[in-house]
Amino acid sequence: MPGSAPLNPCPRSRNDPDVDMVGCGEAMIDLLERHTKQLNTAAEVVDAIDALVWPERAGDDRLGVEVEAFPVVVRDDEPAGRLELDSGDPSVLGLVDTTARTGRMILPRRPEVLRFETSAGGLVTFEPGAQIEHSTVPAHTTQDLQAELTSLWDEVEEVFGSEGVSLVSLGVDPWHTAESIPQQLPLPRYQAMDRYFASQWPAGAVMMRNTCAIQVNLDAGIGQVREERWLAANLLSPLLTAMFACSPGPGTRSRRARVWQELDETRVGLPRWASTEDAKPLGDCAARALAANVMFIIRSDGARPGRPGWSFRHWVEEGHSEVGRPTVADLENHLTTLFPEVRPRNGVMEMRAPDGLPSRWWIVPAVVAGSLLYDDRARYTILELLEPLVTDLNGVWHRAARDGISDPELGWLVRQVADLTAEAARRQPERFGAPAVAVTEAFLERFTLRGRCPADELVELLPSPEKALVWAAGDPEMGGLS
């Protein structure tokens, strides 16, 4: 999502007010250099991206997720509107403030700040439609990851539930339209983004205000391991779209993915490779950054609009009539406006394919992606199995959004991925604990191995808003998974 926070490999860079930096170690770029160093050539952009995005840090093969939920007002057991961020009583901010006062997981915020830090080291932030997002701290085990998710959301759900508000995680809110949900973040970034998409891409309003995702964050590693994980993550991504599709619409299993496919193609999607030899983590990121349209330029007096057709490369080579050439800080901001399906951030790969899912299944995408990329044997098998997809990843992504795993080729591949997941997770018991593996295997048995995705089950329930709401809010009695 536009405001998502990455799995943070340098905890002080997020939480320590005395440190303002991007990257770690030798790749650190301090505040002064970020705002004063101009980028005059494409080569300088590549060097800056190398420092910002791909620091040489092996990492610990950790797991992180970013999960999101709609705050849905419930009346007579049915959806009756969405709670607004900071308007009315109650409001989303007001209820999270209450959670921070009464619970132990969310820390109180300063009144002017629209985010909360957590006692575990993560973040709670908000999307333009008042969706609540929780970015976990990097975890070494699924036990730790699940403990943070469960502890925090139990507290939040208790407070919201006491006010008749259900926290619902699906790819797209099926009961409310983007037109009925205002853009509620007062920051110049989101106002400029809203205007930019409105100029040519009306699906931008749906993406910003009416979608939820699960983003899985994995350490990329270094050297050959990084190159393999980068290739494997992008090959796997369309299959995750199909496997975790949970936003049915006319002619589609993942309406959320279709929304992304209808946006500015310079900043979304998957790499366009002719062969696996073309997959280069730094080169791919730099090429996308240079080719992508500039969405806006942030200065102390506000946001200046970019425009379709004026790329970051144009800005570097030609400058801007008011602000000159871009700085490292401008590049950093530009990178936050790019939304590829696999987004590299500070040595981490953010895998953005899965739709929002009921909370009982939040751990499953992390087990699938993490077990396959962190296990050498599974990764090699994935690279071999999915290599035939490499020349048409965006076409496969479109098929995945439309058909899910009812597509014969994708269905067969996803079932192979399911089998590999079970094997790979069991080879890593220190990272993937028995409870998470059990939930994952139950999910795969319920959906994947039967040629179904969650959207197929949800669409059967939607004629009954009460049943669909209970299912989407994560009630384990609706599925037997906890």
Say if residue 6's pLDDT is above 50: no
Q: Specify whether the CB–CB gap between 243 and 33 falls below 8 A.
A: no
Q: Where are the alpha helices (H) located in 136-213, listed in sequence order?
A: 142-162, 188-200, 203-210
Cα(72)–Cα(51) distance, rounded to whole angstroms?
Answer: 41
- Average confidence (pLDDT) over 404-418: 97
- Average confidence (pLDDT) over 267-288: 97
Cα(117)–Cα(107) distance, rounded to whole angstroms?
Answer: 6
pLDDT in tens, 71-91: 999 999 999 999 999 999 999
Say if residue 263's pLDDT is above 70: yes
Q: How confident is the model at residue 12 (pLDDT cuts 50, 70, 90)?
A: very low
Which pLDDT score is estimated for 201? 97
3-state secondary structure of 396: helix
Say if residue 47's pLDDT is above 50: yes
* Nearest CA-CA partner of 64 in 109, 120, 107: 120
Which pLDDT score is estimated for 24? 42
pLDDT in tens, 320-351: 998 999 999 999 999 999 999 999 999 999 99
Q: How many percent of the chain have pLDDT more than 70?
A: 91
Q: How confident is the model at residue 3 (pLDDT cuts 50, 70, 90)?
A: very low
pLDDT in tens, 438-474: 999 999 999 999 999 999 999 999 999 999 999 998 7
Both tokens assigned to 325: 């050439």
Both tokens assigned to 32: 């002064």
pLDDT in tens, 114-169: 999 999 999 999 999 999 999 999 999 999 999 999 999 999 999 999 999 999 99
Say if residue 34's pLDDT is above 90: no
Which pLDDT score is estimated for 10? 36
Say if residue 54's pLDDT is above 50: yes
Please report how the helices 408-426 and 363-374 are oriented relative to each other, as an axis angle in degrees rounded to 10. Answer: 80
Which pLDDT score is estimated for 387? 98
pLDDT in tens, 247-259: 999 999 999 999 9
Higher-pLDDT residue of 154 and 4 is: 154
Cα(346)–Cα(31) distance, rounded to whole angstroms?
Answer: 16
Neighbours of 326 (CB within 10 A): 25
**Residue 87 to residues 90, 94, 95, 110, Cα–Cα distance (Å):** 8, 9, 12, 18
Higher-pLDDT residue of 59 and 103 is: 103
Say if residue 197's pLDDT is above 80: yes
Q: How confident is the model at residue 303 (pLDDT cuts 50, 70, 90)?
A: confident
Say if residue 11's pLDDT is above 90: no
Which pLDDT score is estimated for 1? 56
Find residue 304's DSSP bridge partners: 297
- Domains of the chain, with CATH numbers? 11-61+194-478 (3.30.590.20)
Burial class (CB in 10 A: 0-12, 13-18, 19+), 78: middle
Averaged pLDDT of the chain: 92
* Nearest CA-CA partner of 443 in 362, 342, 350: 362
Which pLDDT score is estimated for 29? 53
Q: How confident is the model at residue 302 (pLDDT cuts 50, 70, 90)?
A: confident
